[in-house]
């Protein structure tokens, strides 16, 4: 069912190209326009057949679009908003997919003209790959998408964005932006920081040990390397834009780590066993909720 005559996707990387594929497969848009700073990505999107037009000029891509979704790294949001603001169709809905929600509301909200509707969003789905070839239509299937409309947002616009994501297979939660940033700090941002740290520490080891880390990586290290292979620009922006929430969670984590360190030092096996039993139950909860297999 066509929901929008024209949608514009700004940034045709992993997330933008997955939306393009899912929207196309489900016939959600009359036409799909792409705006991307990379000429190679514009050409690739056209060659893949996932859009009807592609331009390095954001102003061109958003012209006459009923829905515009920003799918760029957080540091590019303000610049993109500035370039597109004067060219938006009256009544258009502007959304995004960024991993941090308070900063996009701060950076983009004030630049949008009167008469358009801003409904920020964040699909809780992704991989460690980037670029237009990395996307796939099923990325959002069975995954949550969190919408964080600022107070006073037009309810009909929020309902349209909700229906759009539901049509791509997502389950929707509406959340206050600050709460979103706190929840994601522990569920996504801190795990990435820990993975970057562990892999970085292994990388700093002397050569003889390094070889063995790779050879025996299946014992746990491998899972961290997948996360630590995620896009450096995107993750730099996540930490710079969700600083307070990440520092808060990092403080709690550091305290818990110190407690574990103490338990190991003093041979307090019961402390370790109790924690590992509780964490096993959390894993079971995630599987029961069908968020992993």
Residues forming contacts to ligand NAP in the complex (CB under 6 A) are 10-16, 35-38, 41, 71-74, 76, 79-80, 97-99, 122-123, 126-127, 130-131, 231, 234
- Give the Cα separation of 116 and 104 in Å (integer): 16
Shortest Cβ 1–ligand NAP spacing (Å) = 25
Q: For residues 141 and 254, which CB has a smaller minimum distance to ligand NAP in the complex?
A: 141
Give the residue ranges of DSSP H helices in the chain.
14-25, 39-48, 58-62, 77-84, 102-108, 155-167, 177-184, 190-203, 207-215, 221-227, 232-241, 243-265, 269-288
Shortest Cβ 292–ligand NAP spacing (Å) = 15
Shortest Cβ 208–ligand NAP spacing (Å) = 35
Q: For residues 43 and 197, which CB has a smaller minimum distance to ligand NAP in the complex?
A: 43
Residue 25 near residue 137, CB atoms below 8 Å: yes
- Give the Cα separation of 132 and 43 in Å (integer): 10
Q: For residues 8 and 256, which CB has a smaller minimum distance to ligand NAP in the complex?
A: 8
Shortest Cβ 260–ligand NAP spacing (Å) = 29
Around Cβ 220, how many Cβ atoms within 10 Å? 9
Give residue 184's region: left, alpha or beta (phi > 0; psi -120 to 50). alpha
Shortest Cβ 276–ligand NAP spacing (Å) = 28
In Å, how far are 62, 69, 151, 249 from 7, measured between CA atoms?
8, 8, 24, 37
Give residue 152's region: left, alpha or beta (phi > 0; psi -120 to 50). left
Shortest Cβ 187–ligand NAP spacing (Å) = 12
CB environment 149-171: b (16+ within 10 A), e (fewer): beeebeeebbebbbebbebbbbe
Q: For residues 4 and 140, which CB has a smaller minimum distance to ligand NAP in the complex?
A: 140
- Give the Cα separation of 164 and 130 in Å (integer): 23
Q: For residues 29 and 104, which CB has a smaller minimum distance to ligand NAP in the complex?
A: 104
Q: For residues 101 and 160, which CB has a smaller minimum distance to ligand NAP in the complex?
A: 101
Q: For residues 35 and 149, which CB has a smaller minimum distance to ligand NAP in the complex?
A: 35
Shortest Cβ 30–ligand NAP spacing (Å) = 23
In Å, how far are 83, 128, 140, 199 from 243, measured between CA atoms?
27, 22, 27, 22
Shortest Cβ 128–ligand NAP spacing (Å) = 7
Q: For residues 167 and 188, which CB has a smaller minimum distance to ligand NAP in the complex?
A: 188
């Amino acid at each position: 069912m066509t929901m929008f005559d024209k949608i514009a996707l700004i940034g045709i990387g992993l997330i933008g190209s997955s939306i393009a594929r899912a929207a196309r497969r489900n016939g959600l848009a009359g036409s799909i326009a792409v705006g991307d700073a990379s000429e190679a990505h514009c050409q690739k999107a056209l060659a893949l057949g996932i859009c009807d037009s592609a331009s390095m000029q954001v102003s061109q891509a958003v012209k006459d679009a009923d829905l515009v979704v920003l799918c760029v790294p957080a540091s590019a949001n303000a610049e993109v908003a500035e370039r597109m603001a004067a060219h938006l169709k009256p009544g258009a809905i502007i959304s995004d997919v960024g991993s941090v929600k308070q900063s996009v509301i701060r950076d983009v909200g004030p630049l949008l003209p009167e008469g358009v509707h801003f409904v920020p969003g964040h699909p809780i789905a992704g991989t460690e790959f980037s670029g237009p070839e990395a996307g796939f239509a099923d990325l959002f299937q069975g995954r949550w998408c969190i919408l964080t409309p600022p107070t006073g947002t037009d309810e009909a616009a929020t309902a349209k964005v909700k229906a759009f994501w539901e049509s791509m297979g997502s389950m929707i939660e509406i959340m206050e932006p600050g709460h979103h940033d706190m929840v994601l700090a522990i569920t996504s941002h801190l795990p990435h920081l820990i993975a970057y740290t562990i892999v970085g520490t292994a990388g700093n080891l002397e050569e003889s040990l390094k070889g063995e880390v790779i050879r025996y990586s299946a014992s746990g290290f491998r899972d961290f390397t997948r996360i630590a292979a995620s896009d450096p620009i995107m993750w730099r922006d996540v930490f710079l834009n969700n600083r307070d929430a990440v520092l808060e969670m990092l403080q709690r984590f550091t305290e818990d780590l110190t407690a574990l360190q103490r338990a190991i030092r003093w041979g307090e096996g019961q402390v370790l066993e109790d924690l590992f039993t509780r964490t096993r139950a959390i894993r079971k909860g995630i599987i029961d909720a069908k968020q992993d297999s």
